Structure 1
Amino acid sequence: MPLTMLLPRLGAGASTRGLPSLARAARRSTAPTRQPLRVAALLGKRWSSTVADAAPDAAELERLSKLRNIGISAHIDSGKTTVTERILYYTGRIKEIHEVRGRDNVGATMDWMELEREKGITIQSAATYAQWGDTNMNIIDTPGHVDFTIEVERALRVLDGAVLVLCSVSGVQSQTITVDRQMRRYNVPRVSFINKMDRAGANPRRIIDQIRTKLKMPAAALQVPIGAEEVFEGVVDILSNKAIYNRGARGEDVAYEDVPAHLVDKVQAAREELTSVLAEVDDEIGELFIEDTKPTTEQLSAAVRRATIARKFTPVLMGSAIKDKGIQALLDAVIRYMPTPMEVKNTMLDLSNNEAILDVVPYSNQPFVGLAFKLEECKYGQLTYIRVYQGSLVKGQFAHHVRSGKKVKISRLVRMHSNSMEDVDSVGAGEICALFGIDCASGDTFTDGRMNCSMSTMFVPEPVISLSLTPKDKTSPNFSKALNRFQREDPTFRVHVDAESKQTIISGMGELHLDIYVERMRREYNVDCVTGKPQVAFREAATRKAEFAYTHKKQTGGAGQFGRVVGYVEPIDPEEQAELPHEFVNNVVGGNIPSQYIAACEKGFMDGLREGFMIGHPIVGMRMVLQDGAAHSVDSSELAFRMATLNAFREAFRSSKPRILEPVMTVEVSAPTEFQGNVLSSINKRKGLIVDTVTQEDYCVVTAEVPLNNMFGYSTELRSGTQGKGEFSMEYKRHAAVMPDVQEELISAHQKKLAEKK
């Protein structure tokens, strides 16, 4: 059989997943570098021999062609969980529909945590599977709040496609832009769904324009709404030229009728717009467009699929999940336009061959390779979610934990449905499942031992806020047990003990993030805690170049310590090297510093970065260039050069006019227009910079950049200033220098704190 017959359909629609620049970067949980690979790369010797050894049979190809792995992502309160609830109902996974904030106090299926149902928000991503027609779907419902962004990161890392839900009134909001960035990071194609078409002020035309301008993604509607706001009745499918209505008590009966007479011209115009947008991103439609030939429905549909999978285009659908309209058409679009596991290209690193890049072969008859992307504690122990990328996983088999080198037995294999589970005997390539009793961390790779390879892990953002945490009952063993569990489950939740104050410090992505964990400790572990004042993740940085020439000399009888280092330190431009917080450069020539001591010099530099002298926070954005030095044949050692470099760095940093940096957040406030003045005033009072103000119908959206240190307690102020009608979201943007008076206050407070401890 020719190799081309066995290749997954790649072409322009293939995406490249899991290609880090270095394996250690993956193990550090930083963003993997993914670059499009030429199709010729698939013809490498190792890949072709692997495929040729065991070609997939027709049943395997049929299974994979009828499999979709999708996520539901959006800004908070756009209706993700409500959409997911309808999907589960129409696919027969649940028998009744329950709302996120329903009066029956049951709550949505995917929001199974008590805290989620109380607050009406999604805190943890929840996985389920369903069947639509003859296609199987693995679905992950993700949180919309920026504080739980890691849940979106790890979901998109293992998914092949996504549904981007947008509100028909609010449109593209701050977290929508974040989700878009995450989708691009992991090369995930998306179908866009404009939800809440029944809401007052619904305007799908404006939302499509926002997708094009704010998200920089070519988009066009596949549907025309029949009415809007309170008279929203259904949609007209542009390709089939049929009106789609949802009948029945819960919209379970889908009726296809002729297009209403007053919409015929509008549907024709929408089809022409779809053709023109596709002509810019798809060669086949582009040629027809130039020839002034109208494409057929089949040609348009195929072009939509090609462009969507290639991430050059997003088809836009619309409906109202709360009114049970448009969900079945969305499911049809997911099946029609989202890629199969064969159409997504993933890569891994061959650890036995100098970390050479290997292509994942998404067939069950290959050696097993899987990625653990999420951990969760349940009553049966630790639950480990795994995406099977290659091969199959069978109950009772042994798996090889790549990071630790240990063998683990797969004693129980389950498919998840929210917090309930179904036992299965085996899962094939492309599937998502969960294991019990496996000791691992999020982002670990498992194999069957036949391959020594590693998948890249997901990007983990740095925490921006900290709290001191003290248990009321200091003898309770559950305190450390809870913190250890939460750290394992959530890579953005960090815990450390302050060396000076001996306090337990927890760090996370926001106030809500940490509040949730404190509340979970009380409910799940019966541990009441007292929290201290939030601590902001300040940083220290240099502003100019500073030279050093330091000699470390110590004589205590016998062999002493001697090391001399000469060079300079300078700030790194964050615009040029955003991913590089520090750099050590060795320019020593002539062997003045023996090569075996260079690593010790770098360690001394790293030691100096851990704590600045102004307020004791880490130092960032520094480059240390080592130019010269001297060594002693007897007294020099690794310790001597490490201490010499550490002290040299401290002296040079003091001379570099250092400054304190603070996290600046992008804050987006939505409120009725009557309270616009109050909103602007409150942001100005907190030293925020107004970036944009948009007035839409009867409400306004204010975007500003505000120092995180000034945002504490803002939710209370906003509620009181808008009669409870205002809401805001906050996302980390960058670290920026504090004002001189603020820097003096911070230094003074730090000196006072040190004096009190003496």
Structure 2
Amino acid sequence: MTVAAHTPTSKNSEAVGEAARRRTFAVISHPDAGKSTLTEALALHAAAITSAGAVHGKGDRKGVTSDWMEMEQARGISITSAALRIDYDGHVLNLLDTPGHADFSEDTYRVLAAVDAAIMLLDSAKGLEPQTLKLFDVARNQGIPVITFVNKWDRPGREPLELLDEIEQRIGLRPTPLNWPVGIAGDFRGLVDRNGGGYVKLHRTPGGATKAREERLTDEQAARLEGPAWEQAVEELELMTEIGADYDPESFLAGKSSPVMFGAALPNFGVAQLLRTLVDIAPAPTPRADNQGRPRPVEAPFSGLVFKMQANMDKAHRDRMAFVRICSGRFDRGMVLTHAATGKPFATKYTQAVFGSERHTIDTAFAGDVIALVNAQSLRVGDTLYDGPKVEFPPIPSFAPEHFAVARAIDVSRYKQFRRGIDQLDSEGVVQVLVSDVRGDQAPVLAAVGPLQFDVVKHRMEHEFNAPIELAHLDYGTARRTDPDSAPALHGLSGAEVLTRRSDNELLVLVHNKWRLKVIQRDHPDLTLDVLLAGGVEEEG
């Protein structure tokens, strides 16, 4: 290596060039919209895997690569986010699959803090659903540009113009189709490329396990082959042109419009087009603002944000991994970073890239990449790691919990394992763990967004920590932040209980329901009852 390669100018140039090759994005959707299937199909078309699997698997096909947890494979739903690193056409794609079920929204919200773009996945028959709307609100709040993929066009569904109108009317995004389906939903023939022109005729493969075969035809050939279906598609496209529904890069990056694509993830229809579009229009990493609002250039020394903790991905080693989104600079395995929260050094000898449950050692990485730091016992979600001058990024907000239960060890002789498991799940953000002087450490209160989170806790406590628990559900439905001056008065009120949130030592008051909360606020206007933030969006009510 030449001397010039060691100069700051050369390093900066390398960091900028490598960051420009990165695309880091998440897939967000309502449950059952086909999110994990799309994730698998994207990996298939990028040649990262050779055969796509369904969630439960068929024949000798394995389960979905991103759904690696035992509970996910058993229930057929994603309950934790997964990171997939894919090399494609000279670019590095960091695809973060997210849970679709509303009960695991908080995990999705953390992932959105680590990406530069999102694919909003819609079911062609259902359109925008409640969970999709919530996730879009968070993406908008964080300034994340959104590409819309209308899935399941191979099944009966709604009219494409109706779906576009719903997007514009309900979320205020101007839809700008990049392709258009030939054939109504349920009779999917192929796709018209609005920008490049021409028609792509799609042919199924058995079970959708391999890439769908694409046949490119001229407009004249398409007209002869498809007849009235082609004519209808042409008329609808002419309408799109007349109303000015054309892709505009500035509007897309500003979050004012959303490029729209049609397809069907299960048979791999339209997935190749989506993959190419991600490379062409999704933004590369840009400067990220620190907690003082100052942008951190991608060529600055290394900095990274911990957005996810996960324990026991490798059952043989019982490890604990911190998933870090690199925000700036170059990462070299073995470098000693600084943990912003404590000022202490953090060694990175064991660093890996992750593909679902599979992982391998990674030696270098750049802005936009997601790395997994092994045995990261001291790290928590929202922490910053850096090299050189100190930098700290804003913390990731916790979601406002709505369900609460007291956890107790079934076997008191395994209290040490019980305590270790509860602390681990708290640090991962699987649930929020609350404690009080009245209940004590032996009976922590678990706070969750949805009840399925409690099922995950019970399963993991039994199978990973060998400490089965019993849960006693509490009759509380909302939480507010309070202060030491208000806590004694609130604790003495009927229908309220004050606890301490372990991770940040904040005082929370739990209240039976929003009606009771309004009565307390009316009768005691001097007491502090602050609204919690839900992933950066203020909790309703």
Q: Provide the TM-score with structure 2 as the length reference.
A: 0.83
Q: What SS does structure 2 have at the residue aligned with 1:531? A: strand
Alignment partners' CA distance in 2, 1:529 and 1:409: 35
Aligned residue among 253, 256, 263 for 2:213: 253
1:237-386 to structure 2, matched below 5 A, reads: 237-247=193-203, 249=205, 250-259=210-219, 260-261=222-223, 262=228, 263-264=230-231, 266-267=233-234, 269-274=236-241, 276-278=243-245, 304-341=248-285, 344-349=286-291, 355=292, 357-363=293-299, 366-378=300-312, 379=314, 380=317, 381-386=319-324
Measure the CA separation in 1 of the matches of 2:281 and 2:474.
Answer: 46
CA contact (8 A) 1:198 1:230 kept: yes
Deviations 1:449-484 (A, max 9, x none): x21221112221121111122222111132111111
Matched position secondary structure for 1:331: helix
Which of residues 358, 361, 366 is equivalent to 1:423? 361
The separation in 2 between residues aligned to 1:480 and 1:275, in whole angstroms, is: 64
Amino acid at match of 1:258: T
Matched, 1:142 2:98: yes
Residue 108, structure 1, aligned to residue 108, structure 2: no
Q: Does 1:508 align with 2:432?
A: no
> Which deviates more from structure 2 when the two are superposed, residues 144-153 or residues 500-509?
500-509
Q: Aligned runs of 1:329-728 on 2, under 5 Å? A: 329-341=273-285, 344-349=286-291, 355=292, 357-363=293-299, 366-378=300-312, 379=314, 380=317, 381-438=319-376, 439-448=378-387, 450-476=388-414, 477-490=416-429, 492-496=431-435, 499-500=438-439, 503-538=443-478, 605-608=485-488, 611-618=491-498, 657=523
Contact 1:218 1:277 in 2 (8 A): no
| Residues 1:154 and 2:110 aligned together | yes
The CA distance in 1 between the partners of 2:242 and 2:353, in whole Å, is 41
Alpha-carbon spacing, 1:78–1:511, altered in 2? closer, same or farther (3 Å): same
Per the alignment, in what secondary structure is the counterpart of residue 486 of structure 1? helix
Partner of 1:239, secondary structure, is coil
Q: Find the partner of 1:117 among 54, 65, 73.
A: 73
Gaps of 5+ in 2: 1-6, 500-518, 530-536
Amino acid at match of 2:97: D
Shift of the alpha carbon at 1:656? 5.7
CA drift at 1:606: 4.0
3-state SS in 2 of match to 1:164:
strand
AA aligned to 1:257 is L
Note the C-alpha offset of 1:80.
Answer: 0.5
- In structure 1, give the amino acid aligned to 2:540: R
Deviation, structure 1 residue 231 = 2.2
Determine helix, strand or coil for the equivalent of 1:525.
coil
Counterpart residue identity of residue 103, structure 1: K
Residue 208 of structure 1 aligns to a residue whose secondary structure is helix
The 3 A distance-change label for structure 1 pair 390 and 604 is closer
Say if 1:238 and 1:271, in contact at 8 Å, map to a contact too.
no
What is the one-letter code of the residue matched to 1:436? V
Distance of aligned partners of 1:208 and 1:654 in 2 relative to their CA distance in 1, 3 Å threshold? closer
Q: Calculate the aligned-residue CA RMSD, in Å.
A: 2.9
Contact 1:197 1:319 in 2 (8 A): yes
CA displacement, residues 471-498 of structure 1 (integer Å, 9 cap, x when unaligned): 2211113211111110010164324256
Task: Give the 3-state SS of the residue equivalent to 1:605 in structure 2.
Answer: coil
Which secondary structure state, in structure 2, belongs to the residue aligned with residue 95 of structure 1?
coil
Aligned pairs, number: 488
| Residues 604-628 of structure 1: CA deviation (Å, up to 9, x unaligned) | 5243465242233359xxxxxxxxx
Q: Which residue of 1 aligns with 2:26?
A: 71
Task: State the distance in 1 between where 2:305 and 2:255 align.
Answer: 24
Q: Deviations over 1:430-466 (max 9, x none)?
A: 2211111332111111111x21221112221121111
Unmatched runs of 5 consecutive residues or more in structure 1: 1-51, 279-299, 350-354, 541-580, 583-602, 620-652, 663-730, 736-758
Distance of 1:654 and 1:195 partners within structure 2: 47
Task: State the shift of 1:266 in Å.
Answer: 3.5
Distance 1:57 1:479 in 2: 48
Q: CA deviation at 1:389?
A: 0.9
Distance 1:271 1:304 in 2: 18
Kindly indicate whether structure 1 or structure 2 has the higher relative contact order, using CA contacts under 8 Å at least 6 residues apart.
2
Distance (whole Å) between structure 1 residues aligned to residue 264 and residue 202 of structure 2: 11
Change over 3 Å in CA distance of 1:422–1:205 after alignment to 2: same
Q: Whole-Å Cα distance in 2 between the matches of residues 538 and 497 of structure 1?
A: 17
Query: What fraction of aligned residue pairs are identical, expressed as a percent?
Result: 22
Q: Name the CA shift for 1:71/1:119 in 2 (closer, same or farther; >3 Å).
A: same
What CA distance in whole angstroms lies between the structure 2 residues aligned with 1:197 and 1:409? 49
Give the 3 Å change call, closer, same or farther, for CA 467–57 of structure 1 in structure 2. closer
The match for 1:206 is: 162
Change (3 A) 1:147 1:656: closer
**Partners of 2:161 and 2:236 in 1: how far apart?**
13
The DSSP-based 3-state class of the residue aligned with 1:535 is coil
Distance between the aligned counterparts of 2:520 and 2:434, measured in 1?
Answer: 30
Instruction: State how far apart, in whole Å, the 2-side matches of 1:495 and 1:655 are.
Output: 23
Aligned position for 1:178: 134
- 2-structure distance, mates of 1:655, 1:323: 55
1:539·1:617 contact (CA, 8 Å) conserved in 2?
no
Where 1:442 maps in the other structure, the secondary structure is: coil
- Per the normalisation by structure 1, the TM-score is 0.60
Structure 1 residues 618 and 252: CA distance shift in structure 2, 3 A: same
Residues 15 and 298, structure 2, Cα contact 8 Å, conserved in 1: no
Residue type of the alignment partner of 1:76 = P
CA contact (8 A) 1:320 1:326 kept: yes
Change (3 A) 1:194 1:655: closer
Change over 3 Å in CA distance of 1:517–1:462 after alignment to 2: same
3-state SS of the aligned residue for 1:454? coil
Q: What secondary structure sits across from 2:113 in the alignment?
A: helix
User: Structure 2 CA distance, aligned partners of 1:198 and 1:614?
Assistant: 55
Residue-by-residue CA offset, 1:657-702 (whole Å, 9 max, x unaligned): 359xx9xxxxxxxxxxxxxxxxxxxxxxxxxxxxxxxxxxxxxxxx
C-alpha distance in structure 2 between counterparts of 1:272 and 1:226, whole Å: 15
Q: 1:539 to 1:143 in 2, by over 3 A?
A: closer
Amino acid at match of 1:77: D
Distance in 2 (alpha carbons) for counterparts of 1:403 and 1:57: 27
The superposition leaves residues 683-734 of structure 1 with CA deviations (integer Å, 9 ceiling, x where unpaired) of xxxxxxxxxxxxxxxxxxxxxxxxxxxxxxxxxxxxxxxxxxxxxxxx9963
| Conserved 8 A contact 1:469-1:530 | yes
Secondary structure at the aligned position of 2:110 is classed as helix
Q: CA separation in 1, counterparts of 2:430 and 2:370?
A: 20
- CA displacement at 1:539 relative to structure 2: 6.0
